């Protein structure tokens, strides 16, 4: 019988219960016990949901209070020295990493929060999880690093917790090789050199799991979908031969790959001594044929057929043909079926969206519904077709018996899939011939500014008159409780449009005044009218759908609610002119217009799967081009920022596919911005990415100023810009906004000094890492005051 498997389930809760509990704990409004009780409730609910759906392999240890990579670092005792200075803590003796220390590693320690024996400490670095919009905490290692399994190993405790509930789970671990490749070393040593020291910890946790009755363990090795060195492949062989050789006989190791095809790594993967290999057949469907030839007898093959990263209902008839083919070739007992990757990347439950509309709801499947699709495929491939995959006529004949019985449930899931496919193809909401024609004609001169940067730079400086090391922010300011309450009241109809807009004007006026008091050189309006940088624009564009509870985790307690792009995209009217024009009327200083770029709009949405992503991106770019023109002409702005934080994360995992992606992605940014006059300064913003390998593409974007995250990495990324001879201006972040810490003037002046050691002053701007929406004014004002003071201090030395 084909088995149904799930690789991971969203941890946040259908209504973001985990976010509320974690933030209440951080704020001192709830106890550690209350937080842990919320976590237990969520885990139980999620395990029971999967069991009820018919999943045979239910994951455990996929829950996390913050991040699964940070969990692994804590499990193996990889605690940076700055977080292990308190009396009695040992990094090498299996000391459990307590909840507070765990959160400190992710968020940093503020001076006033430091306990006796501790000092303020900056947070560990955070970066994108492969090509997703999830962020992970980067483990910090060093040559000779010692590892030790925490005495209260989380994977073991959560397996035992599920077992007490009568649910047998398959614990999930980040594989040892991927863990090391996800890490950074503080001394430039090679992380893989630490493999021999790390493997005993994995052996110990596998032994503990086996002693508690575990029979299956999932080891996630997503790096197998990337280009790998011979050294890395040798590391995989060494790691799994050792783990398999010393793992208790009753414990099966299941290797999971995802986010793309395994490619040339396929043969080495099937040479590893594991019980099964999971393949992502949504992003790498071409690998199945070779995999069927390579899979050795005795090994199972797990097919990732249901998209774990998008929200559309699967074409189950097509998926079933693939699954049946594999079952015929290997035998159904050697085949498993599941989502392409963990369901962490999709919302929890479509049943929380009663107001979405019947047609749109019929097209979609969230995590809970994807479990039903997986289970339906497994049952359909295992038994008579009429039990699970009968056509509409047979369905109608079976009536209430099919709808109420276990055999009928998969059949209903198949029928929902067929209806969704037919409805999307026939809906008049999806395609707009006029938009398609405009997008097809876009190109050529539309992608070019009138003059090169050096000429534009002179015109812009004449117009703006900015000092050396000009200071600014990235766009958003704190979204206070009052702002959120008024927005909610307006959406519910409890506040009139006139009242709401009057309130927003007052907020903008106060934000502008605060910036002037702080001494910032370039101001923003603060984005009080926006709940999210993608959602706000999507709500004003044709072709987007929105949910009430379609939340996914971005990092820690930060959740986002991605729009759903279901059809062709166009802009009916201006989207930001009203507020930008008002803000500029309040000050003599320049105000930046703030837009979200086309690639980020695409990457941070659930995108239609019935046309190439490049085509959808071009449509968004044309809409943003219209908005840039209106900000310049109608609002009278001289600086417009078009944020592209997601450009790097959209890069394909395989280097051979980079050129095509960068061609259309950079082209979309240029299409959105190149219509601006030479005297108008175009900014863009990127965050939490490695830019070294795409620095040429960043230069091709031809933004006048690019700002980016740099504080946690201590300006490391500037070396790439120096080596490339990057000509345009750069604003490396000096204030880590993802931590509640208030950085001192000295700390930020030191970062500016580091930047000045790499690039000349006339090329540099001074700004935070990212927007300030999630921070409190009590943190933001002193931080920005210190930032301005740091810039002024360094400006004096430059001018001297």
Go through the chain and tell me how many residues it has: 800
Distance CA 600, CA 62 (A): 27
DSSP tag of 466: P
Is residue 602 a contact partner of residue 616, using CB atoms and an 8 Å limit? Answer: yes
Contacts for 781-786 with beta carbons within 8 Å, 24 or more apart? 781/514, 781/518, 782/742, 783/735, 783/742, 783/743, 784/473, 784/518, 784/520, 784/735, 785/518, 786/742, 786/743, 786/744, 786/745, 786/748
What token pair was written down for 514?
A: 């605060």
Q: What's the Rg (C-alpha) of the chain? A: 27
Is residue 360 a contact partner of residue 419, using CB atoms and an 8 Å limit? Answer: no
Show Cβ contacts of residue 513 under 8 Å, excluding neighbours closer than 6 positions: 586
Q: Which helix (H) or strand (E) holds 209?
A: helix 195-211
Edge-first strand listing for the sheet containing 681-686: 592-596, 639-643, 681-686, 705-708, 729-732
The active-site residue, picked from 345, 683, 685, 738, is: 738
Q: Directed axis angle between helix 32-53 and helix 154-164, to 10°?
A: 60
Chain CA centroid to CA 722, Å = 28
Within 184-265, strands assigned E span 184-185, 216-220, 252-256
Helices (H), 334-430: 358-363, 367-382, 385-388, 392-404, 408-426
Is residue 175 a contact partner of residue 74, using CB atoms and an 8 Å limit? Answer: no
Is residue 641 a contact partner of residue 683, using CB atoms and an 8 Å limit? Answer: yes
Query: Does residue 738 have an active-site annotation?
Result: yes
Neighbours of 350 (CB within 10 A): 24
Distance CA 562, CA 550 (A): 7
Active site residues: 738
């Amino acid at each position: 019988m084909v088995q149904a498997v799930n690789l991971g389930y969203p941890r946040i809760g259908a209504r973001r219960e985990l976010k509320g509990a974690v933030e209440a704990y951080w704020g001192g409004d709830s106890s550690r016990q209350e937080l842990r009780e919320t976590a237990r409730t969520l885990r139980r609910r999620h395990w029971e949901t999967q069991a009820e759906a018919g999943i045979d392999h239910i994951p455990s240890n996929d829950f996390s209070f913050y991040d699964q990579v940070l969990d692994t670092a804590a499990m193996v005792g990889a605690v940076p020295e700055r977080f292990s200075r308190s009396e009695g803590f040992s990094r090498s003796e299996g000391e459990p990493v307590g909840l507070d220390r765990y959160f400190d590693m992710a968020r940093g320690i503020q001076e006033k929060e430091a306990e006796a024996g501790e000092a303020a400490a900056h947070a560990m670095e955070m970066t994108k999880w492969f090509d997703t919009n999830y962020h992970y905490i980067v483990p910090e290692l060093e040559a000779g690093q010692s590892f030790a399994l925490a005495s209260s190993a989380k994977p073991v405790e959560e397996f035992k917790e599920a077992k007490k509930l009568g649910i047998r789970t398959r614990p999930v671990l980040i594989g040892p090789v991927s863990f090391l490749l996800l890490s950074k070393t503080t001394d430039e040593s090679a992380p893989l050199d630490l493999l021999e020291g790390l493997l005993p910890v994995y052996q110990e946790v596998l032994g503990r799991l086996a002693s508690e009755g575990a029979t299956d363990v999932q080891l996630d090795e997503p790096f197998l979908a990337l280009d790998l060195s011979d050294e890395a492949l040798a590391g995989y062989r060494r790691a799994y031969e050792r783990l398999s050789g010393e793992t208790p006989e009753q414990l099966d190791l299941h290797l999971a790959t995802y986010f793309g095809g395994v490619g040339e790594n396929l043969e080495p993967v099937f040479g590893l001594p594991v019980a099964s290999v999971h393949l992502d057949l949504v992003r790498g469907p071409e690998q199945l044929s070779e995999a069927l030839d390579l899979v050795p007898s005795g090994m199972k093959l797990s097919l990732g057929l249901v998209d774990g990263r998008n929200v559309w209902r699967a074409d189950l008839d097509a998926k079933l043909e693939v699954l049946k083919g594999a079952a015929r070739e290997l035998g159904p007992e050697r085949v498993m079926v599941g989502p392409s990757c963990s369901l962490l990347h999709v919302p929890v439950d479509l049943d929380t969206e009663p107001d979405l509309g019947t047609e749109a709801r019929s097209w979609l499947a969230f995590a809970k519904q994807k479990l039903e699709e997986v289970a339906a495929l497994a049952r359909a491939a295992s038994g008579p077709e009429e039990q699970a995959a009968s056509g509409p006529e047979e369905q109608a004949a079976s009536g209430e018996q099919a709808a109420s019985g276990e055999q009928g449930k998969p059949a209903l899931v198949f029928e929902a899939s067929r209806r969704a496919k037919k409805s999307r193809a026939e809906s008049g909401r999806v395609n707009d011939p006029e938009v398609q024609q405009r997008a097809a004609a876009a190109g050529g001169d539309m992608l070019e500014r009138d003059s090169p940067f050096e000429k534009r730079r002179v015109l812009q400086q004449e117009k703006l008159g900015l000092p050396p090391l000009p200071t600014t922010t990235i766009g958003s300011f704190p979204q206070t409780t009052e702002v959120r309450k008024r927005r909610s009241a307006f959406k519910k109809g409890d506040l009139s449009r006139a009242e709401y807009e009057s309130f927003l004007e007052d907020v903008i006026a106060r934000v502008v005044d605060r910036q002037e008091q702080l001494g910032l050189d370039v101001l923003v309006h603060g984005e009080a009218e926006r709940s999210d940088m993608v959602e706000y624009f999507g709500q004003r564009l044709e072709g987007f759908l929105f949910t009430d509870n379609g939340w996914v985790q971005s990092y820690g307690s930060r959740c986002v609610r991605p729009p759903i792009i279901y059809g062709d995209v166009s802009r009916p009217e201006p989207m930001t002119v009203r507020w930008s024009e008002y803000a500029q009327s309040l000050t003599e200083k320049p105000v930046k217009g703030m837009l979200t770029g086309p690639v980020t709009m695409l990457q941070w949405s659930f995108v239609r799967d019935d046309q190439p992503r490049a085509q959808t991106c071009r449509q968004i770019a044309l809409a943003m081009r219209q908005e840039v023109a209106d900000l310049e002409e109608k609002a009278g702005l001289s600086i417009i920022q078009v944020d592209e934080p997601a450009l790097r994360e959209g890069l394909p995992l395989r280097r051979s596919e980079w050129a095509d992606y960068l061609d259309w992605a950079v082209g979309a940014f240029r299409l959105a911005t190149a219509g601006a006059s030479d005297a108008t300064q175009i900014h863009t913003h990127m965050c939490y990415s490695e830019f070294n390998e795409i620095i040429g593409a960043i230069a091709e974007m031809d933004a006048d100023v690019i700002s980016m995250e740099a504080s946690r990495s201590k300006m490391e990324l500037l070396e790439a810009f120096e080596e490339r001879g990057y000509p345009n201006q750069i604003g490396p972040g000096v204030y880590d906004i993802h931590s509640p810490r208030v950085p001192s003037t000295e700390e930020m002046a030191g970062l500016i000094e580091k930047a000045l050691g790499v690039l000349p002053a006339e090329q540099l701007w001074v700004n935070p890492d990212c927007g300030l929406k999630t921070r409190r004014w009590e943190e933001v004002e002193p931080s920005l005051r210190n930032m301005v003071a740091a810039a002024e201090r360094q400006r004096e030395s430059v001018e001297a």
